[in-house]
């Protein structure tokens, strides 16, 4: 693919910049908050092995497809899909795939920023010694108090959204690229420091054994489907973020090679998070299958009773904040790009409009934990409803449609032109994107709907 077409929003300065940005989009709360607790719930090593296989067979082929579509279209996801549908001479309603991805990213950020706000609050709790000498009841009460306070949550949600929009407002090179060039290396450095600390915890070998020694008796259909779903979601697929980042990718850069680097880095962060967390859990005789409370209720207890816990508690929640920020800037970018392209406004105004709308929905999410906690839709509060709609319905459907469009609708010559793979490599990708990935995502989708 040549550089004849360029995005009006700019381009990444290099392949390395794109790798950092796309890895930042993929690396988020899912890697550091969710991966350790679902691994704990599903038996450890065998689950990790199934997860890695799913990343290779499902996540990577769909990511290659999404980046390819983005670079081919060179626009926001909505305009890209409309352009590519016209180019392929297929139904123009494929443009709705772009709409679904953009809306999914917007809805995710509305509640994601609230959780990111929790991590910011916990940075200060750790810094001021809030975990020191606490017992399980006190740590739980600390989290419950945060949930019950709309003022605290709205404050941190507002701060996080402000930081996110300040980065996005500065554009591709001046904002997104500059941010990830600092945040991603910092994230890896903090992770390595935490891993080194875990090695001295006295339970490092126990944590490593749990994480990497497979016990297949712990694996059942639900665990396999959980691994498959998480492999898909952890790469930020189906929400427009990777597609819009792909639209800023220079034409001479290999999409396939770059995708392998991104998937490898994303997986490394998830595994390093597990290596850092599980030895601390075992060293403090805590429960590995705690669930979502592992980060905000279990680890503060550990940090409050271990040598050096003050420093490493601060570092851990800074890590969580960095991971959330690198994802949040990619979640709002598709909406900003579309507003610039379609509404004839500059990037600053597009950021203010989209950021304010997202902030407002986030405030409603905050209320769902306290003053509106009794208000349920389909037996779910607003936070649970948005999480279910996006993670369980919109993203799998988006990923399935990306695979179908790239594998069956797009002209093979155009795909070959973008990917520039050797014949055998292209055939392998085509087989995975046409048959394996759609079937696997469809199975996850049916499981989510309760059909399987």
Confidence at 1, pLDDT banded by 50, 70, 90: very low
Taking all residues of the chain, what is their mean pLDDT, rounded to a whole number?
90
What number of other Cβ atoms are within 10 A of residue 2's Cβ? 7
Residue 452 is predicted with a pLDDT of: 67
Residue of higher predicted confidence among 199 and 5: 199
Q: What is the dihedral of CA 127, 130, 132, 137, to 10 degrees?
A: -150
292: three-class secondary structure by DSSP: helix
pTM score, whole prediction: 0.91
Residues written for the chain: 452
Whether the per-residue pLDDT at 124 is higher than 90: the answer is yes
Q: What share of the chain is helix, strand, coil (3-state, %, to 5)?
A: 75, 0, 20
Residue 329 belongs to a domain with what CATH number?
A: 1.20.1740.10
In a domain? residue 294: yes
Whether the per-residue pLDDT at 3 is higher than 70: the answer is no
Distance CA 347, CA 167 (A): 11
pLDDT tens for 229-287 read 788 778 888 888 999 999 999 998 999 999 999 999 999 999 998 898 888 888 877 77
Whether the per-residue pLDDT at 116 is higher than 60: the answer is yes
Confidence at 433, pLDDT banded by 50, 70, 90: very high
Torsions phi, psi for 347 (to 5 deg):
-65, -35
- Number of domains making up the chain: 1
In a domain? residue 193: yes
Whether the per-residue pLDDT at 181 is higher than 80: the answer is yes
What value does the mean pLDDT take over residues 420-445?
Answer: 92
Distance CA 357, CA 334 (A): 14
In a domain? residue 343: yes
In a domain? residue 7: no
Q: Going by C-beta distance under 8 Å and a sequence separation of 6 or more, which residues neighbour residue 250?
A: 3, 11, 12, 14, 15
Whether the per-residue pLDDT at 291 is higher than 70: the answer is no
Whether the per-residue pLDDT at 222 is higher than 50: the answer is yes
pLDDT tens for 401-425 read 999 999 999 999 999 999 999 999 9
Torsions phi, psi for 113 (to 5 deg):
-65, -30
In a domain? residue 2: no
The set of long-range contacts for 407-411, using a CB threshold of 8 Å and a minimum separation of 24, is 407/65, 407/433, 407/434, 407/438, 408/434, 409/85, 409/88, 409/90, 409/94, 410/69, 410/84, 410/88, 411/87, 411/88
What value does the mean pLDDT take over residues 215-237?
Answer: 82
Confidence at 84, pLDDT banded by 50, 70, 90: very high
In a domain? residue 373: yes
pLDDT tens for 244-255 read 999 999 998 999
In a domain? residue 3: no
Name beta bridge partners: 377.
380
Residue of higher predicted confidence among 400 and 396: 400
Distance CA 440, CA 253 (A): 29
What number of other Cβ atoms are within 10 A of residue 264's Cβ? 14
Whether the per-residue pLDDT at 15 is higher than 70: the answer is yes
Distance CA 196, CA 210 (A): 18
Structural domain boundaries enclosing 158: 15-448
pLDDT tens for 313-349 read 999 999 889 999 999 999 999 999 999 999 989 999 9
């Amino acid at each position: 693919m040549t550089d004849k077409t360029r995005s009006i929003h700019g381009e990444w300065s290099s392949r390395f910049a794109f790798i950092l940005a796309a890895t930042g989009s993929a690396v988020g709360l899912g890697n550091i908050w969710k991966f350790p607790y679902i691994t704990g719930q599903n038996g450890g090593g065998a689950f990790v092995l199934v997860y890695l296989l799913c990343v290779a067979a499902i996540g990577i082929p769909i990511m290659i497809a999404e980046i390819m579509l983005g670079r081919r279209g060179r626009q926001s996801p909505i305009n890209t899909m409309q352009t590519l549908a016209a180019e392929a001479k297929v139904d123009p309603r494929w443009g709705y795939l772009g709409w679904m991805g953009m809306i999914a990213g917007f809805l995710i950020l509305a509640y994601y920023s609230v959780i990111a706000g929790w991590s910011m609050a916990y940075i200060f709790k750790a810094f001021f010694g809030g975990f020191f000498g606490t017992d399980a009841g006190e740590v739980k009460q600390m989290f419950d108090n945060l949930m019950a306070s709309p003022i605290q949550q709205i404050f941190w949600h507002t701060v996080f959204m402000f930081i996110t929009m300040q980065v996005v407002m500065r554009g591709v090179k001046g904002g997104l690229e500059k941010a990830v060039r600092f945040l991603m290396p910092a994230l890896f450095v903090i992770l390595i420091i935490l891993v080194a600390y875990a090695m001295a915890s006295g339970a490092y070998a126990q944590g490593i054994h749990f994480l990497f020694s497979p016990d297949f008796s712990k694996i059942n259909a639900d665990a396999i489907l959980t691994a498959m779903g998480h492999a898909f979601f952890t790469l930020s697929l189906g929400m427009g973020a990777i597609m819009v980042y792909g639209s800023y990718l220079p034409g001479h850069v290999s999409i396939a090679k770059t995708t392998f680097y991104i998937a490898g880095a994303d997986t490394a962060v998830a595994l390093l998070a597990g290596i850092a967390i599980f030895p601390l859990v075992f060293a403090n005789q805590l429960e590995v299958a705690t669930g979502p409370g592992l980060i905000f209720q279990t680890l503060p207890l550990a940090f409050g009773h271990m040598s050096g816990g003050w420093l490493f508690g601060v570092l851990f929640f800074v890590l969580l904040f960095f991971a959330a920020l690198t994802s949040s800037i990619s979640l709002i970018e598709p909406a900003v790009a579309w507003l610039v392209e379609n509404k004839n406004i500059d990037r600053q105004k597009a950021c203010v409009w989209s950021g304010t709308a997202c902030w407002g929905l986030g405030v409603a999410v905050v209320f769902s934990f306290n003053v509106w906690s009794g208000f349920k839709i389909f037996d779910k509060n607003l936070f649970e409803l948005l999480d279910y709609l996006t993670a369980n319905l919109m993203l799998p459907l988006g990923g399935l449609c990306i695979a179908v469009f790239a594998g069956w609708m797009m002209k093979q010559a155009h795909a070959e032109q973008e990917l520039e793979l050797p014949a055998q490599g292209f055939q392998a990708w085509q087989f995975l994107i046409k048959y394996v990935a759609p079937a696997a995502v469809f199975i996850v989708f049916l499981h989510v709907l309760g059909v399987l």
